[in-house]
Chain A
Amino acid sequence: LAKTTQPISMDSYEGQEVNITCSHNNIATNDYITWYQQFPSQGPRFIIQGYKTKVTNEVASLFIPADRKSSTLSLPRVSLSDTAVYYCLVVLYNQGGKLIFGQGTELSVKP
């Protein structure tokens, strides 16, 4: 089962770019990477997902190198409202999109 490893916590300041790196050494060929954001007392919110190279949407970018053993979530110009826990997950494609959550990265954005 693909396990992910990411920093437990990170600090940043408003307006900075934040990069959170995740390792997933045992990712299978058909699986892909997804990132979620969770605020206290709310369900996780989907941010972005990708299989390889670079994916960008209106809130973040996801960089995945050719070997797919790691990925980096990039949040441009963070604000105080980006303070949350960020989860890096491997989507188990052959198990109907099943997710196994790790501990996540607690991002704290300071003024």
Chain B
Amino acid sequence: SAVISQKPSRDICQRGTSLTIQCQVDSQVTMMFWYRQQPGQSLTLIATANQGSEATYESGFVIDKFPISRPNLTFSTLTVSNMSPEDSSIYLCSVVVRGQGATDTQYFGPGTRLTVL
């Protein structure tokens, strides 16, 4: 398994500002993902963040709005830029750990609850 921490755990921000969320893992992992979960909804994948390459964004998400860094195999950041109230969500990072039989298991962080006023 993997132990994942996120900072901050929650924040309240003003519209037009930016917030950077940090994700730290206790072991080296290749695959890391960022998700958004709006109130009462399921998780939506924002992007895949691999070390040494640019993040790959899902449809509806762009790098200018959600820039991602992945400087090493244990750390990543997601920035929510020029925020609006519609960005109020829980943001979660996850990592993939390869187990026996080459099966992949994804583990999630506790999430960052963002409220934009």
A residues lining the B interface (CB < 8 Å) = 32, 34, 36, 41-46, 49, 51, 87, 91, 93, 96-104
Kindly name the residue among A51, A93, A99 whose own CB sees the greatest number of chain B CB atoms within 10 A: A99
Is B113 within 8 A of A97, CB to CB?
no
Contacting pair B48 A98 (CB below 8 A):
yes
If A101-B42, A101-B43 touch, whether A96 touches B104 (CB-CB below 8 Å) is: yes
- Say whether A91 contacts B104, CB under 8 Å: yes
Q: Judging by beta carbons under 8 Å apart, are B96 and A42 in contact?
A: no
Give chain B interface residues in 73-117, CB to chain A under 8 Å: 90, 92, 94, 96, 98, 103-111, 113
Tell me how many residues of B have a C-beta within 8 Å of chain A: 27
How far, in angstroms, from A52 to B1 measured CA to CA in the complex?
Answer: 22
A96 near B96 with CB under 8 A, answer yes
B104 x A93 contact (CB < 8 A): yes
A96-B104, A98-B48, A99-B106 in contact; A42/B42 too (CB < 8 A)? no
- Is A34 in contact with B42, judged by CB distance below 8 angstroms? no
Task: Give A93 to B113 CA distance when docked, in angstroms.
Answer: 30
Q: Is B30 an interface residue (CB 8 A)?
A: yes
**B63 beta carbon closer than 8 Å to chain A:** no
B35 proximity list for chain A (CB < 8 A): 101
A103 to B48, CA, bound (A): 21
Closest 9 CB pairs of A and B: A97-B104, A43-B108, A97-B96, A101-B43, A96-B31, A101-B42, A44-B108, A43-B111, A43-B92
B34 within 8 A of A: no
Which chain B residue has the least Cβ–Cβ distance from A32?
Answer: B103
Q: Is A98 a contact of B33 with CB atoms below 8 Å? A: yes
Contact B31 A97 (CB under 8 A): yes
Contacts A96-B104, A97-B104, A102-B42 aside, 15 further interface pairs with beta carbons under 8 A come to A41-B111, A43-B92, A43-B110, A43-B111, A45-B108, A46-B105, A87-B42, A91-B106, A93-B104, A97-B31, A98-B31, A100-B45, A101-B35, A103-B42, A104-B42
